[in-house]
Amino acid sequence: MRVRIRAPKGTHTIELEDIATVGNLLDEIYAKTSIGSRVVSIRYGYPPKQLDIPPPDTLLIDLPFTIHGEQLIVSESRSPSPGLPSRNDGPSSGPLSNSQGTRFQQEEREPRSFAETIPRAVKDFFSPPSPEPSNSKNSYASIKGNEPIVRVIDTGMSCTMRVMEDDNSCMFRAVNYVFARGLDMMTELRSVVAGVIQQDASLPPELQRFSEAVLGMSRDKYCKKIMNPNTWGGYIELTILAEHLDMTIHSISVADGTVVSYNEAKENYGIVIYSGIHYDCVAISDNINDPDQDITVFSKYETKVLDAARNLCRILKERNYATNTASFVLQCQDCGMELVGEKQAQQHGEQTGHSNFAQVR
């Protein structure tokens, strides 16, 4: 059987005998990865699900999923799993495997999030409605390392914002962090969006949600653009990804505290923060200084987390973290032209096909 392993520092393909055991799989993971931890964590499927690793002599064909052709995400685990040997225990079963491996980062009790940045140059590529003006331009760099922290009432936990890179994929990156932290799934998330939009065309007209009128262009053109890592995501992407992940995603506007909820009333939710041109996400922890302990997915009954996140956004607004998309100045990185506001950027993108912008003031 063949298994693809995705590790923090690369991917590998492992060839295993049909009678291979969990121990054989772990031997390959320990032998081929550079992770120093003594304990491995494994996730499988999409969205990734945590595997409760059985004893080493368990046959791989007895796992709760078909391992042949599966991609496993492996990483260091924070605590041992029952029956799991340490890295230095040596081979746990016979030499039945002959390839490579990696470890999966343990899900603490949550999957994790996606992100986006400045408004895209294409109509409707933007997220929730444009926020109110701010007195200074948004700078994710100025807040990074100085993120506000608020207490989550009655939990003993604190709430903060995890700042996403300002790299044209901040929306996807924020969602990625919330629902699959530790993994780079930006391409996969973009593919999900493109796939749903293309499948929408096969539905009866009255059931179609992503028509050319909604997208502002043909489905093919939209999908090609959204697969470009320099294209921003917005409300269409958040809608699709929330449904795909079977989670609610709350997007809070820094400017006015408005909460836009995607795929409402699900059992669990995550939170992204929208500055007007950039997405970040919310995490809680009893040790805010250690992102490895972040919790980013919450039960729908944990309403105090959402309350804390809204308080967090009030502080961010006081620190001028909101941006007025009607008056900020963008520079097209493809041709150098300066554009004032979201409207000019959209028009420029539609006329030229350019989609790579940076805020200059």
Domain extent listing, the chain = 2-89, 140-324
The H helix count followed by the E strand count for the chain is 9, 15
Q: What is the DSSP letter of 284?
A: E
Residue 46: predicted pLDDT: 65
Q: Nearest CA to 262 among 277, 245, 279, 278?
A: 245
- Sheet holding 329-332: strands in order across? 338-340, 329-332, 357-359
Contacts (Cβ under 8 Å, ≥6 apart) of 164: 115, 117, 140, 170, 173, 174, 177, 278, 279, 280, 281
Which tokens sit at 294? 């972040």
Each residue's pLDDT tens digit, 66-79: 787 788 888 876 55
More confident residue, 212 or 40: 212
Phi (first) and psi of residue 40, to 5 degrees: -110, 145
HSE of 296, CA atoms in CB hemisphere, 13 A: 28
Instruction: Check whether 296 has a pLDDT greater than 70.
Output: yes
The secondary structure element, H or E, covering residue 310 is helix 303-318
Each residue's pLDDT tens digit, 39-64: 778 888 766 788 888 888 888 878 88
Q: How far is CA 107 from CA 48, 66, 178, 197, in A?
A: 9, 21, 11, 29
Instruction: Check whether 323 has a pLDDT greater than 60.
Output: yes
What kind of fold does domain 140-324 have according to CATH? Cathepsin B; Chain A (3.90.70)
What kind of fold does domain 2-89 have according to CATH? Ubiquitin-like (UB roll) (3.10.20)
More confident residue, 133 or 194: 194
Residue 34: predicted pLDDT: 67
Each residue's pLDDT tens digit, 115-163: 333 333 333 333 333 333 333 344 555 677 789 999 999 998 999 999 9
Low-confidence winner among 96-110, 183-197, 238-252, 310-324 (lowest mean pLDDT): 96-110
Region 196-205 average pLDDT = 94
User: Rounded to a whole number, what is the largest CA-CA distance in the chain?
Assistant: 66
Residue 97: predicted pLDDT: 26
Residue 86: predicted pLDDT: 38
Matching fold, domains 2-89 and 140-324? no
